[in-house]
Amino acid sequence: RMRDSTGADINAIVKAYVTARDVFRMNELWQQIEALDYKVSASIQESMMAALMRLVRRASRWFLRNRRRELNIEEEVVRFRDRAAEISGKLSGLLAGEGKQVWQEYYDKLIEGQVPEKLAATVAGANNMFSALSIIEGADQTNRSAEDVAATYYQVGCNLDLEWFLDQLNKVSVMSHWQALARETYRDDLDWQQRTLTASIINTLPDGDIDARMHAWLEKSEPMISRWRKTVSELRESDINDFAVFSVALRELLDLAQASRHASEGGC
């Protein structure tokens, strides 16, 4: 499936998988889940494993898209692993809006199922940790800490309802091979645009705190943000069953991302 959707050869896919596995310490987490045999329900264990598999699958795809020709497993693990763990450890305080609510609900479910707190917090954030790769990349581009970039990244998602948008994209039934490829492409586009918006906001006001940054950006970009929010409002009121809807909506978000980047670089 990964070969079909990315065009990468098997060697590249295996390298991307190993990189993603080691960046997110999957072997350690998997052993911790298996150690819960007969201590928590099998359904809880299966849910946790599925969450981690989704993370590795999406992260493998990220490395294929962003590092295909020069992927060095050791270098990428060194670059991402510790900072990803740092973001994961602070994730509950960095998330905002619906993303924080989803994390809290899953965390509470795992705790109720007798999963240890640290492991529950890590697994509950697996769906959000894919974005750690783009956050760390953004930190390198803006010379900011990964935590600072993460806070801005998740606030952008909260203000623009991007968590909700991604959830709707994931929920739409895929009826063909081409729709499956389209959905994966839309996910990639959404991540790129959120990363671009984050870097633009930080570059516009690099020394401001998160609230000051967001206020300045929301004020400066008000017309295009209002247009995006109108699009989201219309989507919330409709029954989404057509992939064309996401294509049109992502075009609106792309316009906002490009305008924000242009403004942060000193354009008119």
pLDDT of residue 266: 61
- Residue pointed to by tokens 């990363």: 195
pTM: 0.86
Return contacts of 229-234, CB within 8 angstroms, 24+ apart.
Answer: 229/160, 229/161, 232/160, 232/161, 232/164, 232/165
Residue-wise pLDDT for 216-267, tens only, equals: 888 888 889 999 999 999 888 887 777 788 888 999 999 999 888 887 766 5
State the Cα–Cα distance between residues 114 and 106, nearest whole angstrom: 13
Task: Please answer whether residues 71 and 63 qualify as being in contact, where contact means their C-beta atoms are separated by less than 8 angstroms.
Answer: yes
Task: Please answer whether residues 9 and 21 qualify as being in contact, where contact means their C-beta atoms are separated by less than 8 angstroms.
Answer: no
pLDDT of residue 244: 81
pLDDT of residue 26: 96
* Backbone CA torsion sign across 40, 42, 47, 49: positive
State the Cα–Cα distance between residues 239 and 237, nearest whole angstrom: 7
- Residue pointed to by tokens 């009826």: 175
Rounded mean pLDDT of 59-64? Answer: 92
* Backbone CA torsion sign across 226, 130, 93, 205: negative
**With pLDDT > 70 as the criterion, what percentage of the chain qualifies?**
97
pLDDT of residue 43: 96
Which of 161, 221, 156 is closest to 195 using CA atoms? 156
- What residues have CB less than 8 Å from 139, skipping those under 6 apart? 83, 145, 146, 148, 149
Residue-wise pLDDT for 149-181, tens only, equals: 999 999 999 999 998 898 888 888 888 888 888
* Backbone CA torsion sign across 186, 24, 159, 64: negative
- Residue pointed to by tokens 């692993």: 81
